[in-house]
Structure 1
Amino acid sequence: MTTERTKFQQLLHDQISNEFFSSQQYIAVAIYYDNHDMPQLAKHFYQQSVEERNHAMMIVQYFLDRGQAVDIPGIDLPRNDFDDYKAPIELALEQEHAVTQQIVDLAKAARDTGDYLGEQFMQWFLKEQVEEVATMTTLQTIAERANGNLFDLENFVERELNVAEGTDATAPPAAGGNL
């Protein structure tokens, strides 16, 4: 296994930690909503946590497929305390904007270093981030419009966000399989 990494590969390795952190942060958000008897928002963020974990494992599988050594990094502690029901959504939107910039930086690094396989790998993540930011932006808008009516917010999440989606056939494989 090769251990020397290009700039792109180092950033991609760092992204494993970022994705695992996002997964943990979404668990903390889900638990906040569970503790406040908001089961639809809790369910949505539990699902988001699994999705972020799967993203980390897609990156792991990419390294394995490329014959690169993979070290699983540690992560920072997630935020667990929130002032109100809107704060976790605001945090999630900020997090998705940050991840989007990380993914853009990764795609740029792959292109700048002539890593066409890496650039192609990042295309799915770019598409995914457009969807993630759009979803969190909509959720933030609906939370604002709900103006404290949590029943309406929960109904929206159940009706619009917690619906079964098909598997994305273009998604990279995750090491150990998607959860």
Structure 2
Amino acid sequence: MISDAMRTRLNEQINHELYSAYLYLSLSAHSERANLKGTAAWFMAKHSEEMTHALKMYRYLLDQDADVTLATVHAPPVSPDGVLAMFEDTLAHERSVTAGINDLVDHALSEKDHATNIFLQWFVTEQIEEEATVNDIIGRLKLFGDQGQGLLMIDNELGAAAKTMAPAAAAPAA
């Protein structure tokens, strides 16, 4: 059984994960409209991953005999102009998710809630990977450009990467 404070914080993080999914769905649509099919597929795979993250937390709360309280998911901001700006905003967003996960870990440790701390370690590791991946994409966009042939090459790479991400994102929560 987890504390009411931890339950509240995990429910807030579920909302943040759902917002992340909504943000990536929006960026996928924006990319699709710009005829960037690979980028759209990558953001759609990210959408699926974020839904999986929310469902992992949902399942954890239920397994801990805690209430799941869903809140309003706010609309994401209007998509920025250009692929580089989309990924820079993505990195800023992922850093805010990392901060939220770290706050949850800190709270679990302060409560000596070992089960929640162990549960959250998967998310800590996931956030390292998330930020590193987006940092790499930004580096490639800065190196090759977010227009013309450079953008086409990166869009194709993102489409290929999305194919490897989708099965993992769709896998049932552990």
Normalised by the length of structure 2, the TM-score is 0.89
Structure 2 match to 1:123: 121
Q: How far did 1:163 drift?
A: 4.1
Distance, in Å, in 2 between the alignment partners of 1:126 and 1:59 is 13
2:29 maps to amino acid:
I
Structure 2 match to 1:64: 62
Distance, in Å, in 2 between the alignment partners of 1:29 and 1:167 is 20
2:99 to 59, 78, 101: 101
Distance, in Å, in 1 between the alignment partners of 2:84 and 2:168 is 30
Q: How far did 1:156 drift?
A: 2.7
Structure 1 match to 2:164: 164
1:77 maps to amino acid:
A
Task: In structure 2, list runs of 5 or more residues that go unmatched.
Answer: none
Distance, in Å, in 2 between the alignment partners of 1:24 and 1:91 is 14
2:23 maps to amino acid:
Q
Distance, in Å, in 2 between the alignment partners of 1:11 and 1:154 is 37
Structure 2 match to 1:22: 20
Total equivalences in the alignment? 169
Which contiguous aligned blocks of 4+ residues in structure 1 show a shift greater than 4 angstroms?
165-168
Normalised by the length of structure 1, the TM-score is 0.86
Structure 2 match to 1:177: none
2:9 maps to amino acid:
L
Task: In structure 1, list runs of 5 or more residues that go unmatched.
Answer: 175-179
Distance, in Å, in 2 between the alignment partners of 1:11 and 1:172 is 23
Q: What SS does the aligned partner of 1:86 have?
A: helix
Q: How far did 1:68 drift?
A: 0.6
Provide closer, same or farther for how the CA distance between residues 124 and 145 of structure 1 changes in structure 2, counting only shifts above 3 A.
Answer: same
Structure 1 match to 2:152: 151
Structure 2 match to 1:76: 74
Provide closer, same or farther for how the CA distance between residues 12 and 164 of structure 1 changes in structure 2, counting only shifts above 3 A.
Answer: same
Q: How far did 1:172 drift?
A: 8.3
Distance, in Å, in 2 between the alignment partners of 1:77 and 1:167 is 26
Contact conserved, 2:15 with 2:70, CA < 8 A, in 1?
Answer: yes
Determine if the alignment matches structure 1 residue 39 to structure 2 residue 37.
yes
